Amino acid sequence: MATCTVNKVIRMVETEVVEGVVLTMTQEEAETLRLLLHHVGGDPYKTRRGHVDAIRKSLDKAGVKLIQAEAFVMSGSVHFPEL
């Protein structure tokens, strides 16, 4: 079962305070999220797709692999317009 906790993560970025969120989930939930993120489109520099890529890369670093379940059929995609 996924849970979400908002934590204030402070790091100095040109005197800007950046808040973070910690999301705890099972391995299967993380694999499902990783699979969904693989199907998001849009320009990574002009849309929120860049945020999706950052989340995907974090999951990759944590060892969550992209699975291709035979029983899973996904059609369509999410595509972000320019900001």
Give the confidence band of 9 by pLDDT, cuts at 50, 70, 90: low
How confident is the model at residue 66, as a pLDDT? 84
Q: Is 43 in contact with 69 (CB distance < 8 Å)? A: no
Q: Hey, is 15 helix, strand or coil?
A: coil
pLDDT digits (tens, 9 = 90+) for 29-70: 998 899 888 888 889 999 899 999 999 999 999 999 887 765
pLDDT tens for residues 17-33? Answer: 768 888 899 998 998 89
pTM of the shown model: 0.67
pLDDT of residue 71: 55
CB 56 within 8 A of CB 34: yes
Please tell me the predicted confidence (pLDDT) of residue 7: 67
